[in-house]
Amino acid sequence: MRRVLGLTLLLNVLVSAGKIVVGNMSGSLSMVADGYHSMTDGLNNVVGLVVASFAYKPPDAGHPYGHRKFETAATLLIGLALLVVAYHVIEQALTQVQGARQPEVGALNWIVMGVTLLANVFVAWYERREGRRLNSPFLIADSAHTRSDIYVTLGVVASFAGARAGLPWMDGLVAAGIAAFIAFLAVQILIGSFNTLTDRAVLSSEALQAVVRAVPGVRACREIRTRGGEGAVYVDLTVHVDGDMRLRAAHDVADRIEAALQEAHPEIVDVVVHVEPA
């Protein structure tokens, strides 16, 4: 996973730097905005590296509940940084639309955007293939995000065509649209991080209760609570069993409950079952 993320991070940094430099040289704000957008892909790769290096470490004395919130902390910082970037780009875009400054689109602009398209297609295909091979939801999700970047890049190409057609305002308009998309991604990241930090319920209690009540020996089930993120869910619940059941048998029921929940929802990483007499 680190090898895949390292390669895609390198490609994202190269295309991002190319678009920002050439966009500034030619005065194409939409190209600069797309460069910042590509930077968000690189930041996603950084989050993935944090996950691979720290978040999957086993619990220890300092972090008895594990290290999965390292990912939450990293994504929270990235979300805030993306909001700052989006504000900066929108501010410049509005200024450019008002001034109707004509970008000087040359061969280098077309070459960089062509290379960007090829890089996005390769990264989306490579991450999806490796995500399936490694059973990594993060890589599969990131590949889907990269596929959406192709449409953003095509929007920049459309702004080039608009500039050639004598429509200087189109560059700023496309840049504002890209900035709005960056802001949308940032808000999604922040909401997801906030939900994790505030222990918002992740799975439906009703759905989990149906799984638990189907386990032999369970008389009743209540107080089902879930927390964590989509890739690592923690569950605790209370079940009632026959009051005359021996301790070993009650423990076996709890084990079967844990196995049933994790089979039904593989994203569950820990289950705490409190057993009470019916």
* Boundaries of every domain in the chain: 2-197, 205-277
Quote the pLDDT of residue 135: 62
Q: What is the pLDDT of residues 70-111, one digit of tens each?
A: 777 777 777 787 787 778 777 766 765 555 556 677 788 888
Q: Any residues with CB less than 8 A from the CB of 272 and at least 6 apart, and which? A: 234, 235, 236, 237
Q: Is the dihedral of CA 151, 153, 157, 162 positive or negative?
A: positive
The topology (CATH level 3) of 205-277 is Alpha-Beta Plaits (3.30.70)
Average pLDDT of the residues in 237-258:
94
Q: Which of 157, 153, 154, 128 is nearest to 141 (CA)?
A: 128
Average pLDDT of the residues in 131-151:
69
Contact 175, 33 (CB under 8 A): yes
- The full DSSP string for 39-67 is HHHHHHHHHHHHIIIIITSPP-SS-TT-S
Q: Any residues with CB less than 8 A from the CB of 189 and at least 6 apart, and which? A: 75, 76, 78, 79, 82
Average pLDDT of the residues in 46-58:
73
Please provide the average confidence, as pLDDT, over all residues in the chain.
Answer: 81
- The two structure tokens encoding residue 55: 């978040």
Quote the pLDDT of residue 254: 95
Phi, then psi, of 102 in degrees rounded to 5: -85, 115
CA distance 267 to 245: 31
- DSSP three-state, residue 225: strand
Helix H or strand E segment including 241: strand 232-241
User: Domain 2-197 belongs to what architecture?
Assistant: Up-down Bundle (1.20)
Quote the pLDDT of residue 215: 94
% of the chain surpassing 90 pLDDT: 22
Quote the pLDDT of residue 119: 86
Contact 30, 155 (CB under 8 A): yes
Token pair 């910042």 is found at 36
Is the pLDDT reported for residue 154 higher than 80? no
Q: What is the pLDDT of residues 7-47, one digit of tens each?
A: 888 888 888 888 888 888 877 777 887 788 777 777 777 77
Quote the pLDDT of residue 103: 66
Looking only at the bridges linking them, the beta strands covering 220-229 and 232-241 are: antiparallel
Contact 228, 268 (CB under 8 A): no
Looking only at the bridges linking them, the beta strands covering 268-277 and 232-241 are: parallel
Residue type at 21 in one-letter notation: V
